[in-house]
Structure 1
Amino acid sequence: MKIGVYSGSFDPITLGHQDVIKRAAQMFDKLIVVVCNNSEKKYWFSLEERTEMVKELLKDYDNIEIDNYSGLIVNYLIEKDITFIVRGVRNQEDCALELYFADGNYMISDKKVDTVFIPAMKEYIHTSSTAAREIARYGGKVECYVDEKIAKKVLERGKIYAPK
């Protein structure tokens, strides 16, 4: 069975993330979407809230499993004996950073974890969780960046972070 892992903080999960997930799910017998905590980031939503949003949006996929993890994602793959990590890339900056991480993950895993890159579709090149949060802070049309099923949650959370 060919298994892939797609990880992210998903704060919140965007339409771009969903597109990469949909496309990756076609490549693998099973895709595990891992909601991660990054110690360098300050989150709007808790790990549990982010995991629930991801589960809500991906519930109709038969070959997708949702998990969460705190730590190096390569360690997750090593622990689970999975060899493929999926990464989406939107632009040259993403590509350079993801190439750096891919090489590091490959070396850390003793050359057992390889990276599959999925380029963003043109309509999602500017889509990011950061942009979605900024739009939500000002009560904007967040549905351009996140699924309508979670747009209300994102807008409500945006009110907490809105400028005073």
Structure 2
Amino acid sequence: MRVGVYSGSFDPITLGHQDVIKRAAKMFDRLIVVVGNNSEKKYWFSLEERTEMVKELLQDIDNIEIDSYSGLLVNYLIERDLSIIVKGVRNQEDCALELYFADGNYIISDKKVDTVFLPALKEYMHTSSTAAREIARYGGKVECYVDERIAQRVLERGKKFAPK
């Protein structure tokens, strides 16, 4: 069975994330979407809230499993005897950073974990969680970046971070 692992912090999950996940799900028998938690980041949404949103938006895709993890993604794969990370890339900067991580993960895993890259479609090349949060801080049209099913939650959270 071919199993891929796609991870992100999803704070919030964007239309670009959803697109890459849907496309990757067609390539694998099972795709595990891991909601990551990095202790260095300050999140708008808790790990539980982010996981809930991801589950809500991806529930119609049969071969997807949702999980959460705090720590190195490569360790998640090693612990579960998995070998393929899926990463979406929007631009040259993303590609350079993800190549760096892919090389590190390959080395750390004793050459057992490899990375597959999916380019973002042109309509999502500028879509990011950071941009969605910034739009939400000012009460903007966040539906351009996040699914309409979570847009109101993102806008409501943005009010907490709006400039005074």
TM range (shorter): over 0.9
Separation (CA, whole Å) in 1 of partners of 2:14 and 2:80? 26
Question: What is the Cα deviation at residue 20 of structure 1?
Answer: 0.4
> Which position in structure 2 is the counterpart of 1:129?
129
Separation (CA, whole Å) in 2 of partners of 1:162 and 1:139? 8
> Which position in structure 2 is the counterpart of 1:76?
76
> Which position in structure 1 is the counterpart of 2:105?
105
Separation (CA, whole Å) in 2 of partners of 1:61 and 1:25? 8
> Which position in structure 2 is the counterpart of 1:27?
27
Separation (CA, whole Å) in 2 of partners of 1:4 and 1:77? 10
- Percent identity reads 86
Aligned-pair Cα RMSD in Å = 0.4
The range that moved more, 139-148 or 35-44, is 35-44
> Which position in structure 2 is the counterpart of 1:93?
93
Separation (CA, whole Å) in 2 of partners of 1:96 and 1:39? 23
Separation (CA, whole Å) in 1 of partners of 2:40 and 2:144? 27
TM-score normalised per structure 1: 0.99
> Which position in structure 2 is the counterpart of 1:117?
117
- Size of the aligned set, in residue pairs, is 164
**Aligned AA for 2:38?**
N
List structure 1 runs of 4+ shifted beyond 2 angstroms. none
Separation (CA, whole Å) in 2 of partners of 1:136 and 1:38? 22
TM-score normalised per structure 2: 0.99
**Aligned AA for 1:102?**
A
Separation (CA, whole Å) in 2 of partners of 1:82 and 1:29? 13
**Aligned AA for 1:133?**
R
> Does 1:162 pair with 2:162?
yes
**Aligned AA for 2:99?**
L
> Does 1:15 pair with 2:15?
yes
List gaps (5 residues or longer) in structure 1: none
Question: What is the Cα deviation at residue 154 of structure 1?
Answer: 0.1
List gaps (5 residues or longer) in structure 2: none
Question: What is the Cα deviation at residue 67 of structure 1?
Answer: 0.2
**Aligned AA for 2:53?**
M
Q: Deviations over 1:48-87 (max 9, x none)?
A: 0000000000000100000000000000000011110000
Q: Deviations over 1:14-56 (max 9, x none)?
A: 0000000000000000000000011221000000000000000
**Aligned AA for 2:81?**
D
Question: What is the Cα deviation at residue 96 of structure 1?
Answer: 0.3
